[in-house]
Amino acid sequence: MTTQQKPQFYLVGGAVRDQLLGRAVKDRDYVVVGADPESMLKAGFRPVGKDFPVFLHPETQDEYALARTERKTAKGYHGFQFHTDTSVTLEQDLARRDLTINAIAQAENGDIIDPYHGQDDLAHKVLRHVSDAFAEDPVRILRVARFAARYAPLGFNVAPETLQLMRSMVDNGEVDALVPERVWQEMEDALGEAQPARFIEVLRECGALAIIFPALDRLFGVPQNPEFHPEVDCGIHTLMVLQAACSLSSDPKIRFAALVHDLGKGLTPADILPAHTGHEPLSKQLVTAWCQHYRIPNHYQQLAELVAEFHGQIHKSRLLNAAELVQLLVNTDALRRPERFEALLLTCEADSRGRLGFEQAPYPQRTLLQQALTVCQQINVQDIIRQGFKGEAIRQQLYQHYEHALAALIVEQNS
C-alpha cells in the first residue's frame, strides 16, 4: 500500500463495545484512516460498499471502511451525502455514530480511543447519543430501542436527553420517512434480543410506536376483565405475553405472534369494555394488514394469523367435545403442519402465562392438544381406502375415526 502517510487501522463499533462489556464479539468492523480506494485495492482488499467505500480484508473477510463524514441532504435514512478523504480523522468518523458506546475505537496496539466518553456510559449503563447529528437518521430511533432490548438485563437505560431528542424527531416527521423493510429488519432483530418488550416500551416512550405500529400502541390504556387479567391493561398484557414467549422459546416467529395476538382489543367498542367479545377475527385482520404493510415473511404471518384467530378456542380446548376438537385440528392444519401447530400451542401458553400472577401457571391445554394430534396421526388413511371408500367418503370416514379416537382420549383424560 503506497500513500504519503501510512494508513491506520482501528477496530470500531460493536466489537469494541462488547469486548469492554465482556460479551462475545460476533463481527469485527474496522475504520481505515489515511487511505483511499486505490491504495486499498492495491493491498488486495475487495470493494463491497455501495454508498461509501467499504472493503473486505483478503484473508479474514472483515469489513474495512474508509474514515468518512456525512451531511444530511433530505429526510429519511437515505438522505445523506458521504465524504471520504485521507484527511478525515478517526474522531470525525466516530462523531457520526449513533451512541457513545458505539463510538469507541481500538488501535492496532490495543490502545482505546474514546473521544465521546463511551466507556463512562458503559460503566453507568447509559445509552446516549454522540451528537445532535443523531437526529438526522430516523433508523437510529429503532436502533436505540433495539439496544435497550439487548442490554436491559445489564441494567442499561436510555439517557433522558436522548429520549427527548427521539421525541423531537418523531414530532418533526422523521419517522414518517422510514421504509417498511428497514422497520421490519430492526424489529426482527429486536425480537431476538434478551428483552424485546423493552424495544416496544422505548418506541412508546418517544412517541414512535403510535406512528410505526398504531394497532399495537392503541392497546395501552384499554382495560380487560380483572378476574381473568389482573394486570388489566391490554398493552401491559401484550408485553407480558411477549416476555413469557421469550421464556418458552427463542423462535422469533413465536415472539412476533405473541406480540400481535390481541391487536383487535384496541378497537373494542367502549360500551362493552372490559369485555372483548369477538376480538379474535379482528385481531387476525389487523395482523394481516400489518404483515402486508411491512412485507413480513409468510411464515411469520401464517403463525401470527393462526394465534390471533384461534387462541381463544385453544384456551377453552378442555371444554370441547370430540367433534369440536377434530374441527380445531383441521382448521389449524395441525395434521399437515405439526411443527407450526406446536408453535401455535407454545404461543397460546405464553398468552396464558402473560398475566399478573399466572407467570408460572401450568397450561394443560397444550398437553391435551399435543395428545389429540398424536392420536389422530396414528390413524392411517390407507386403511380407509382399502375398505373401498372413495372421494368425499374417505374424508368423512377419516374424520369419524378422528372423532372416535378423541372421544376415547377425553374419557381417559376425565377418568
Taking only the tens place, the pLDDT of each residue in 191-226 is 999 999 999 999 999 999 999 999 999 999 999 999
Q: What are 79-95's pLDDT values in tens digits?
A: 456 677 888 899 999 99
Whether the per-residue pLDDT at 4 is higher than 70: the answer is: no
Average pLDDT across the chain, whole number: 92
Whether the per-residue pLDDT at 58 is higher than 80: the answer is: yes
Q: For strand 63-66 and strand 29-33, is the pairing parallel, antiparallel, or unpaired?
A: parallel
Average pLDDT of the segment spanning 354-376: 96
Place of cell 472493503: 55
User: Would you state the pLDDT for residue 52?
Assistant: 67
Cβ atoms of residues 182 and 138 within 8 Å: no
- Whether the CA torsion 64, 45, 79, 210 is positive or negative: it is negative
Q: What are 380-390's pLDDT values in tens digits?
A: 888 888 887 87
Whether the per-residue pLDDT at 321 is higher than 60: the answer is: yes
In angstroms, the CA 273 to CA 100 distance is 46
User: Residue 198's Cα: distance from chain center in Å?
Assistant: 11
Domains in the chain: ranges and CATH: 1-123 (3.30.460.10), 213-414 (no CATH)
Average pLDDT of the segment spanning 286-302: 97
pLDDT band at 113; cut points 50, 70, 90: very high
pLDDT band at 290; cut points 50, 70, 90: very high
- Whether the CA torsion 19, 30, 174, 180 is positive or negative: it is negative
> Picking from 44-53, 234-243, 260-269, which range would have the lowest pLDDT averaged per residue?
44-53
> Picking from 47-51, 108-112, 163-167, which range would have the lowest pLDDT averaged per residue?
47-51
Whether the per-residue pLDDT at 263 is higher than 80: the answer is: yes
Instruction: Name the grid cell of 21.
Output: 462489556
